[in-house]
Structure 1
Amino acid sequence: MSVTLSTSKRKRPESHKLSVISVENLTDTSVAVTLAVPPSLREIFDFQPGQYITFRSVEDSGREAHRSYSLCSTPADLHERGVLRVGVKSIPSGTFSAYASEELQPGDTLEVLPPLGTFTTQLRPDSHIGAVIAGSGVTPVLSITAATLQLGGRVTLLYSNRTADTVMFSADLAKLQEQHGERLRVLHVRTREDASHPLLTGRLDAEKMAGILREFIDVRDVDDWFLCGPFELVVGARESLTAHGAGRIHTELFYVE
């Protein structure tokens, strides 16, 4: 007996037009873009903290272009207020990032694909989330942080930036600390200026990472670790955490376009 197996083609995700509510300056080189999601599309754009959305555009050549950005808002923001928010860091050779920073205005519309991504975990009221992040790598972790705190959990962030002026979402983090107190702990690493402690000053290499873990963080008290940033930081942090007995570790490399 012969059996013929047939597979159906996977349906291509459909993009939807969403209106821009605001474009907020975060630093000299980054903005936060907030989008309005009508009630009819909220189920389609439902997401887990840590996932991303993709903007679709057609270039002058006719080629279709896609740029993905992690969501920094929470599912509650979508359900209760109908909004999605992403952080966009601009570079001179960027395409969408330069457009978002220089031209995008409230009232404009963008074609957006529904959320995707596996940089997530099942959050619980007793969760203790840890993260090692650099620069724009804070974006998905901000969503995870806010959602964890909303549930009653704890978060420890090790956040590396060049200077205090280059910290994306510094106001959001300060507000979360004000609201949730000791349940949110942020250790700021400064690579080009003095930080609050010698271990938090300078490049976050494997040796410095090991010192920070010994001095400030009980690795085994953390349920899930999220690492997001440049390749060297993510690999080095994963090796250090593993050597210190960390449990679940989630990684994502961040690219700026």
Structure 2
Amino acid sequence: MSSLRLATRILRPVPVRHFSTGGGGSTKSSNLPFYLGGVGLAGLATYLYLGGSPSPFSSSPTKTKPKQDKSALDPERFLDLKLKAIEPYNYNTARFVFELPNGGAALSPVTSLVVVRPSEGAEGAPVDKKGNLAVRPYTPISSPDQEGELVLLIKKYDKGVISKYVHERLQPGDTLAIKGPISKFAYQANEFDHVALIGGGSGITPLYQLLHHALNDSGNRTRYTLLYANVSEADILLRDELAALERAHPNTFRVVHTLDSPPAGWTGASGYVSRELIKAHVPPAKEGNKIKVLICGPPGQINAVAGQKDGMKQGAVGGILKELGYTEDQVFKF
């Protein structure tokens, strides 16, 4: 996305409260500690699709497109994918478009990630403390059935080993080793009445992947609310895409933006995702198994809102969500 498009976006008011059990606006406090680390996030699935149908005016039927029953990626080994294009998004983020082998599709389950590392022998490739090529997880923003391309939205962090490498070293024609897809949250359509998604910075990617899939399902009945925190307005990722989903699905999707450093005239929330903000926009814990809260963001945000993860395990619910009575069954941390 060009800087011109970013500068001309229309600010939208924060939605009114629907689930508040008490008064109070959002608390002003710094989001900055939440954005010092990068995040990223999602297994292997079968997605069948057919192309074309016979024309009633044709003497011969249109050939049926062969179905793809296997991902173009491999969850067990890294494949070197050629970088097709770099599309600048804002001052520190870009879309990196990679070519998938043989024009295939990733066929990723909802909320699945890929793991990336430099290709063997790549110049300037970063390594970990053991001398192995550094790896990081990312959640694609391209559709699972998008043919021939895999798109990663990567934000450059000052201390981001892979993000700096990708931004500073890769050029179209170069390759990056990618393995996946790897499933994260086990999404099921209409499993819950309401799903609240809490995101920070580049942690928006798995949440967007789920929203894009669920809301574009004509059979969806679940309501979704996204609380999305960033340092500044320029840091908001996928803003246009989220706004488009909100316009298309006004009865089932609502976005609440909150900024650490809001500009003059900002009508959204300010500060981090607070107790007051959650109470105002998320159904209460007493709703039980009718609701689910998903959170993805830098470790500081996850710790403060939902409690620290236990390595690869979820860990106990802590932070604000524990204070508000939410249980392990109601919360998922990416």
TM-score band (shorter)? 0.7 to 0.9
Q: Which one has a larger percent helix, Structure 1 or Structure 2? A: 1
**TM-score (ref. length: structure 2):** 0.60
Give yes or no for the alignment of 1:92 onto 2:158. yes
Pick the structure with greater CA Rg. Answer: 2
Q: Which one has a larger percent strand, Structure 1 or Structure 2? A: 1
Give the conservation status (yes or no) of the 8 Å contact 2:157–2:163. yes
Gaps of 5+ in 1: 1-11, 253-257
Per the alignment, in what secondary structure is the counterpart of residue 81 of structure 1? coil
2:260 corresponds in structure 1 to 191
1:173 corresponds in structure 2 to 242
Structure having greater relative contact order (Cα 8 Å, sep ≥ 6): 2
Gaps of 5+ in 2: 1-74, 307-318
Cα 1:105/1:176, change in 2 over 3 Å:
farther
Q: State the alpha-carbon separation in 1 of the partners of residues 99 and 267 from structure 2.
A: 39
Q: State the alpha-carbon separation in 2 of the partners of residues 224 and 114 from structure 1.
A: 26
- 1:183-221 Cα distance to aligned partner (Å, 9 max, x none): 221100111126525xx21233xxxx2211222332456
1:52 corresponds in structure 2 to 113
Task: Identify the match of residue 80 of structure 2 among 17, 20, 41.
Answer: 17
More off after superposition, 139-148 vs 241-250: 241-250
For these two proteins, the number of residue pairs brought into alignment is: 230
1:218 corresponds in structure 2 to 283
One-letter identity of the residue aligned with 2:89: L
One-letter identity of the residue aligned with 1:203: Y
Give yes or no for the alignment of 1:240 onto 2:320. yes
More off after superposition, 179-188 vs 239-248: 239-248
Give the root-mean-square deviation of aligned CA atoms: 2.8
Give the conservation status (yes or no) of the 8 Å contact 1:219–1:241. no
Per the alignment, in what secondary structure is the counterpart of residue 209 of structure 2? helix
1:248 CA displacement = 2.1
Cα 1:231/1:241, change in 2 over 3 Å:
same
Give the conservation status (yes or no) of the 8 Å contact 2:104–2:147. no
Per the alignment, in what secondary structure is the counterpart of residue 242 of structure 2? helix
Q: State the alpha-carbon separation in 2 of the partners of residues 90 and 182 from structure 1.
A: 35
1:37 corresponds in structure 2 to 100
Q: State the alpha-carbon separation in 2 of the partners of residues 94 and 230 from structure 1.
A: 12
**TM-score (ref. length: structure 1):** 0.76
Give the conservation status (yes or no) of the 8 Å contact 1:15–1:111. yes
